[in-house]
Amino acid sequence: MKTKDFDIGGPLYIALHQSLLSGYLSGIAHKKEKNLFTAAKGQQIMIFPGSGLFGNAGNWIMAAEFVKTSRLFARTAANIDPEWLEPLAKNLCTYTCFDPHWEKTRGEVIATQQVALFGLILVNDRKIAYGKINPGEAGEIFIRHALVQGEIQQKFEFMAHNRKLMETLETLEHKTRKKDILASEEDIFLFYQSKLPEPFSDIRSFARFLKEKNDPDFLKMTLADLQKSDVDAHELSLYPDTLTLAQGKFNLEYEFNPGSKKDGVTLRVPLSSAPLISGNRLDRLVPGLFEEKIAGLIKALPKAFRVKLLPISEKAALIAAEMPKQDRPLFSLLSAFIRERFQVLIPETLWSDQDLPDHLKMRISIRDEKGKEIKASRDKAVLGQFPSARPLFQDKAFDEARETFEIRDIRQWDFPDLENFIPLSRTDHPIIKAYPGLKVEPGPEKNRQTLSLRLFKSEKEAETSHCEGIRHLFLLLFPEDFKALKKDIQSSPEIKQMAPVFNGRAEFQASVFNRITATFFGKNIRRKDEFESHARHEIPALYKNGREFIKMITDLGKEYRSCFDLIQKLSFRHSAMKKTADMLTCLFNDLKNLVPPDFPDLYTHDRIRHLPRFVACLRIRAQRAADDPAKEGKKIMQMEKYSRRLPALLSSLSSHSTPEKSSLVEEFFWLLEEYKISLFAPELKTMVKVSEKKLDTFLVKISTMI
């Protein structure tokens, strides 16, 4: 018996010990630690020290007898393979199944099985098909996971159909932020359960059943099956799929998941469009959320202001419905509208969206040319973080449009009427706009300009260039008329006399010519018939309008010279009187600031028309300051409480200031000039009603603006 066949694991050993094991099943034991084992029914035994297995036993043994002396010892023991036990003692084994679940890779409902013999576990985690154990429960698990949740690798037509309907309804829930539109998973489960004649626990038998059924619509659901509540068409229109901005249409995504980074509305912005987008429109979100946002902003106001807008829900609804849709900062619009509508003054600086929930702030997702998200933020500043981005899409589309659209060396209106913008669209990108306009460009010859039709990426840049281009086109088409205008300007002795004070003769005459032509011909005309109509009306009147403008300039020049000479004469005469001299010095500086050398380029026709009155006011003030400095001093003190605010207002303007604030500061400047007339030279008469109350109102408005 020393052959290899009898070695442990050899065929004779296995055959002999399996035969012995069938008679000694109750003598099996499982190792607990070195020589200690757990036997049947939980008995704790030890291998007899005289045994050949003592210190060398495997994990499983069988013993011919258990002898109890100082403790329970196993005698006549041998190593066994636990895999021998289940086939020999199948009818004595206890089988327990637990954790039934769906396994996607296997495509079947499975459970974990445990096999025990006399309390000893032979198999701990065997995977078995649960359909054979409990067909009913396995069928429920199959429906919930495979059909309802779609956790299968094999795709079925009815599931794609049902999934599409569910996604449509889920989109409605995300948009409206309601969870009562799509049927619950339990409702969908009951639908499938009612349709299936028997429980299925694996994909193979289910696919075979569908093939034999031969009815592709058998398990297809309808909106009636899936939709629990209706969504009003008007309400749905408040949550658009795209957001239309000046730069084009951009896709919107909705998610109703409070606490998630994507909760609310996400605007998908191609990298190429990010620097061009104005963030002001994004503050309005979408119409369906705007009212809620306004209510949240009102609630965040200090109590002293909040109580003036009660009830908040009513006021928020009215503001959302009636507030103008302008490309201005939201806080500026809110303050202006509330001031006019409810006579409540709320400084723009008091508004804050810091404490608003995330879904009331637009999430901006910057995407590359492949649609992959580069960066996402609810801070509008993210739009300005990619100023030099030039992805292939925009450059290629824009360049293609330029090649098709642009025209060079234009000498007459022989091109099509111009639209306000041209859409540049691609299937995988939102619509991007290009703005057409005429452009004056340097020509091949020195001192000669050419006119071209160009595309611009900015609407404002296009309009500015186009107005100048229209003016240039009039110059090209009616050279004799404009040549006569130039001759009138150059031959005017008064303008020649003024020129040395205002940048010299050639430059000043060119500025006057440019101001006249820009006033009457620098228009945003985009149709040929409109251009021809404007020419028929304005070209015959050019001589008359030109003469009137020249007279206006020369009248200003006479008043300027008169004021300049008077201040200079009085300054020499009263140089010893410090108070008077200081007043005259201030008036001289005011004159230089009011009428700078390049005033024809800076001021519009309407502003220049009023300059002679303002200069005359300075002249009268100079004479009265010399005659009665004490009286004028009192008036100056009255005026200075407004004039000294002007430098601070001008310094408060920055690149972040709203155009409305800049415009209001400029209007305040000219209103202050009218106030000076009413205060120092009322005989000149003001062109608008002005008072300290009106000036105070302007200052309050400006102080509340960003």
Note if the pTM is more than 0.95: no
Residue that wins the pLDDT comparison between 271 and 559: 559
- Model pLDDT, residue 109: 96
**pLDDT tens digits for range 463-472:** 999 999 999 9
DSSP assignment letter at 27: G
**Average confidence (pLDDT) over 188-201:** 94
State percent of the chain over pLDDT 90. 67
Calpha distance 303→350 (Å, rounded):
11
**Average confidence (pLDDT) over 450-461:** 89
Q: What share of the chain is helix, strand, coil (3-state, %, to 5)?
A: 55, 15, 30
- Model pLDDT, residue 478: 95
- Model pLDDT, residue 662: 84
Q: How confident is the model at residue 428 (pLDDT cuts 50, 70, 90)?
A: very low
H or E, element range at 201: none
- Model pLDDT, residue 600: 93
**Average confidence (pLDDT) over 486-510:** 91
Beta bridge partners of 363: 266
Nearest to 173 by CA among 115, 224, 249, 235: 235
Which residues neighbour 77 within 8 Å (Cβ) at sequence distance 6 or greater?
Answer: 47, 48, 51, 53, 57, 61, 62, 63, 64
Instruction: Considering only CA atoms, give the Rg of the chain.
Output: 45
Calpha distance 498→453 (Å, rounded):
38
Q: How confident is the model at residue 292 (pLDDT cuts 50, 70, 90)?
A: very high
**pLDDT tens digits for range 162-187:** 999 999 999 999 999 998 899 999 99
User: What are the DSSP calls for 218-275, one per residue?
Assistant: TT---HHHHBSS---HHHHHTS-SEEEETTEEEEEEEE--TTSTT-EEEEEEETTTGG
In whole numbers, what is the pLDDT of the chain averaged over residues?
89
- Model pLDDT, residue 427: 46
- Report in angstroms the alpha-carbon separations of 595 from 435, 557, 636, 683: 36, 10, 21, 22
DSSP E strand boundaries for 331-448 = 363-367, 373-377, 422-426, 429-442
Instruction: Please state which of the ranges 107-121, 326-340, 505-519, 531-545 shows the lowest mean pLDDT.
Output: 326-340
